[in-house]
C-alpha cells in the first residue's frame, strides 16, 4: 500500500509525498515538520501558447524557464531533502517519492481550454500543469538504480497523478517521462522524472492515436494496432528482448533511434492508472531489468528518454489507444551519439544507423550490473 500525503509549498504549489512505509507517511503528516519556510514570492503567471497555422500545432512560449536551476552542486540540489543549509523544494528532512508542481512550468498553473478554431496569429494562455517526480532522496542515480520497493512506489505515483491530472479541466493528454544523462539535456542530476498535463494532444501522440483509431475501426473494433504489432513481434522473436507474464519488451520493426525499445503490457490498457496491482508488481521487475540491460551495453551509463505513451483523454481515441513505454537513446556506439540533423530535424524523416535485430540481440544477451540499492 502506498500512503499519499498532500501539502502546499510557500508559494501555493502542491506537493505530494508517496510512501510505502507507514513510519515515513506519519512523519509527512506532521505539518510542522514539513512546512516550507522559504517564504517564496507568488508564482509567475502562465506562459502563452501560440498556434502554428502552417502545421496545425500549438507551441508553448515559456520565457521564464530561462532562469531555471542548471546543474547545481550537490549541496544546493533543489530535489534533495531540506537541510539548514539547503532549503530545497522538498521541505521534509527525508522522503521516499515526492511529486510537486514545477516552479519553472512550461504549462499552467492556470487550467482551461485552448480556442477550438485557432488561426494564424492566435495566442492563448498555456493552460495545463507540469510536475516533477523525485524518485528518491539520494542525490545520485536514476530510475534504474532504484530498489524494487522504491520503483514500485514511483509507479503508484505515476498512476495516481495520471488519474488526478486526467480529471482536471482542459487537460487533453498526460505524459510521464524521464530524461537521463547530460547528452539528453538534463539540468538536475538528482534521480527524477516529470509529468506534463497538456491542454492539447501533442503531435507525436496525435499521430499514434490517429493511426490506432484507423486500424481499430478497420478491424471492426476487434483488434488494436499495437496489440497486432505485439503479437507479430512475439511470434517472430527476432526483435524480442524480454517476455514475461504480463509484459513484453522489443525493439520495434521500424525503430527510429539507434537504441529503441518498446515495453508493452499484454493486456490493452489506456494508461498506467489502469494497471492492476499484479501488473504493477511485474512492471517494476521488467522495467528495472530493461534499464539494466541498456546500461550494460557500454562502459558508461546510457543517456535515454523514457516516454510513457498513454491514451489521450478524448473518449473517441481511448478505446483504440494502448499504453506502452518508448525507451529511446541517441547513443549509436560507445563513443558516438546520433544528432538530429537535416533529414530528421528539418523533415522528420529518420535514418537509423543500427539495425533493430542486432540491437535486440545485444540487449537479450546483455547482463545487467547489480548496482541497485538493494544489491549494492
pLDDT at 63: 82
Question: Is 262 tagged catalytic?
Answer: no
CA 11 to each of CA 14, 118, 136: distance values in angstroms, whole numbers, following the listed order: 9, 33, 23
Task: Inform me whether the pLDDT recorded for 375 exceeds 80.
Answer: no
pLDDT at 65: 79
Q: Which one-letter DSSP state was computed for residue 83? A: B
Query: Class for domain 3-200, per CATH?
Result: alpha beta
pLDDT at 334: 93
CATH topology of domain 204-365: HIT family, subunit A (3.30.428)
Instruction: Please tell me the distance from the alpha carbon of residue 52 to that of residue 212, in angstroms, as a whole number.
Output: 25
pLDDT at 370: 63
Instruction: Tell me the three cell numbers of residue 34.
Output: 514539513
CA dihedral defined by 362, 140, 67, 61, rounded to 10 degrees?
40
Q: What is the pLDDT of residues 49-102, one digit of tens each?
A: 999 999 999 999 988 777 677 788 999 999 999 999 999 999 999 999 999 999
Q: What angle do CA 177, 183, 188 make, to 5 degrees?
A: 60
- Where along the chain do its domains lie? 3-200, 204-365
Task: Inform me whether the pLDDT recorded for 240 exceeds 50.
Answer: yes
In sequence order, the 6+-apart residues with CB closer than 8 A to the CB of 292 are 144, 366, 368, 369, 371
* Options 192, 235, 246, 262, the catalytic residue: 192
If one compares 22 and 65, the residue with the highest pLDDT of the two is 22
3-200 and 204-365 share one fold = yes
Q: Is the dihedral of CA 140, 145, 148, 153 positive or negative?
A: positive
State pTM to two decimals.
0.96
Amino acid at each position: 500500500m502506498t500512503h499519499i500525503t498532500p501539502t502546499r509549498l510557500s508559494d501555493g504549489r502542491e506537493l505530494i509525498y508517496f510512501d510505502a512505509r507507514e513510519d515515513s507517511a506519519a512523519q509527512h503528516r506532521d505539518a510542522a515538520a514539513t512546512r516550507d519556510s522559504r517564504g517564496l514570492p507568488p508564482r509567475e503567471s502562465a506562459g502563452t501558447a501560440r498556434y502554428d497555422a502552417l502545421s496545425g500545432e500549438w507551441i508553448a512560449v515559456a520565457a521564464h524557464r530561462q532562469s531555471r536551476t542548471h546543474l547545481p552542486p550537490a549541496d544546493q540540489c533543489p530535489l534533495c531533502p531540506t537541510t539548514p543549509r539547503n532549503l530545497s523544494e522538498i521541505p521534509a528532512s527525508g522522503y521516499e517519492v515526492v511529486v510537486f508542481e514545477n516552479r519553472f512550468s512550461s504549462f499552467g498553473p492556470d487550467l482551461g481550454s485552448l480556442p477550438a478554431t485557432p488561426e494564424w496569429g492566435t495566442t492563448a494562455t498555456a493552460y495545463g500543469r507540469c510536475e516533477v517526480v523525485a524518485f528518491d532522496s539520494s542525490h545520485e542515480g536514476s530510475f534504474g538504480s532504484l530498489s524494487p520497493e522504491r520503483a514500485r512506489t514511483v509507479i503508484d505515483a505515476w498512476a495516481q497523478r495520471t488519474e488526478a491530472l486526467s480529471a482536471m479541466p482542459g487537460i487533453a493528454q498526460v505524459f510521464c517521462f524521464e530524461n537521463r544523462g547530460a547528452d539528453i539535456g538534463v539540468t538536475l542530476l538528482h534521480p527524477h522524472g516529470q509529468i506534463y498535463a497538456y491542454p492539447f494532444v501533442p503531435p507525436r501522440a496525435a499521430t499514434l492515436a490517429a493511426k490506432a483509431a484507423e486500424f481499430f475501426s478497420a478491424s471492426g473494433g476487434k483488434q488494436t494496432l499495437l496489440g497486432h504489432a505485439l503479437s507479430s513481434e512475439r511470434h517472430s522473436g527476432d526483435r524480442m528482448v524480454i517476455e514475461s507474464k504480463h509484459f513484453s519488451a522489443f525493439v520495434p520493426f521500424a525503430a527510429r533511434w539507434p537504441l529503441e525499445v518498446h515495453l508493452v503490457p499484454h493486456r490493452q490498457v489506456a494508461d498506467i492508472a489502469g494497471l492492476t496491482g499484479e501488473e504493477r508488481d511485474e512492471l517494476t521487475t521488467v522495467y528495472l531489468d530493461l534499464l539494466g540491460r541498456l546500461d550494460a551495453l557500454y562502459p558508461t551509463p546510457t543517456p535515454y528518454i523514457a516516454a510513457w505513451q498513454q491514451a489521450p483523454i478524448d473518449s473517441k481515441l481511448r478505446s483504440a489507444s494502448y499504453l506502452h513505454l518508448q525507451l529511446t537513446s541517441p547513443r549509436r556506439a560507445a563513443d558516438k551519439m546520433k544528432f538530429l540533423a537535416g533529414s530528421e530535424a528539418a523533415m522528420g524523416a529518420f535514418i537509423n544507423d543500427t539495425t533493430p535485430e542486432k540491437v535486440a540481440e545485444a540487449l537479450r544477451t546483455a547482463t545487467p550490473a547489480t548496482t541497485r540499492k538493494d544489491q549494492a
